[in-house]
Amino acid sequence: MAKDSLKHVGTMVGADAVIRGDLVLKGGAIICGQVHGNVYTEGPVRVARDAYVKGDVMASDAFMGLGVCAFYKTTEPVKQQIT
């Protein structure tokens, strides 16, 4: 994910948050907690290494850490963090 694409991040899911349901956003998101549902946004999505997403992720750009269980559909290739 390009550094400039993080300028439009308007939502952050904290490490202790658990969301059960879909996230529908206009801007980008950084996910550090758990999302049990789909993530739909016109902006970029970054999922932290210790985060968990079970659902579809549709975004303009996505960077996924390890431990993510999701189907990604983006307008750019998904970057997977490898450690």
Show pLDDT as tens, one digit a residue, over the chain (83 residues): 445 555 668 899 999 999 999 999 999 999 999 999 999 988 888 989 888 888 888 888 888 876 555 555 655 545 544 33
Domains of the chain: total: 1
**pLDDT number for residue 55:** 86
For residue 5, report the phi and psi dihedrals to the nearest 5 degrees: -70, -20
Taking alpha carbons only, the member of 61, 77, 83, 80 closest to residue 69 is: 80
**pLDDT number for residue 14:** 95
Is 81 part of any domain? Answer: no
Domain containing 52: what range?
3-75
Is 83 part of any domain? Answer: no
**pLDDT number for residue 68:** 56
Is 12 part of any domain? Answer: yes
Is 11 part of any domain? Answer: yes
Is 38 part of any domain? Answer: yes
Is 82 part of any domain? Answer: no
The 3-class secondary structure across 41-60, one letter per residue, is: ECCEEEECCCCEEEEEEEEC
Phi-psi region of 8 (alpha: psi -120 to 50; beta: other; left: phi over 0): alpha
d(CA 64, CA 47): 5
Is 54 part of any domain? Answer: yes
**pLDDT number for residue 52:** 87
